């Protein structure tokens, strides 16, 4: 599904770029784009948070 219409970025592309990202700007840089209208920024931030949560969960399981 398209998350960023201005840049034609899909959820899978953004999720792949969000691993280890510290900010929305990091994700866009990794995709080689810049945010334009800004409507997608909350969704991209949520993708980053989801990535962090899943990474943290995987690290906890690996540590056990």
Residue 28's Cβ-count burial label (10 Å; 0-12, 13-18, 19+) is buried
What does the pLDDT look like over 6-53, one tens digit per residue?
999 999 999 999 999 999 999 999 999 999 999 999 999 999 999 988
pLDDT at 5 over 90: yes
Q: Which domains does the chain have, with CATH numbers?
A: 2-63 (1.10.10)
Which among 16-20, 55-59, 60-64 has the top mean pLDDT?
16-20
pLDDT at 1: 96
């Amino acid at each position: 599904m398209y998350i960023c219409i201005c840049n034609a970025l899909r959820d899978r592309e953004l999720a792949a770029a969000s691993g280890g990202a510290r900010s929305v700007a990091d994700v866009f840089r990794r995709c080689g784009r810049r945010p334009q209208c800004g409507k997608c920024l909350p969704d991209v931030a949520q993708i980053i948070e989801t990535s962090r949560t899943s990474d943290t969960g995987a690290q906890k399981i690996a540590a056990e």
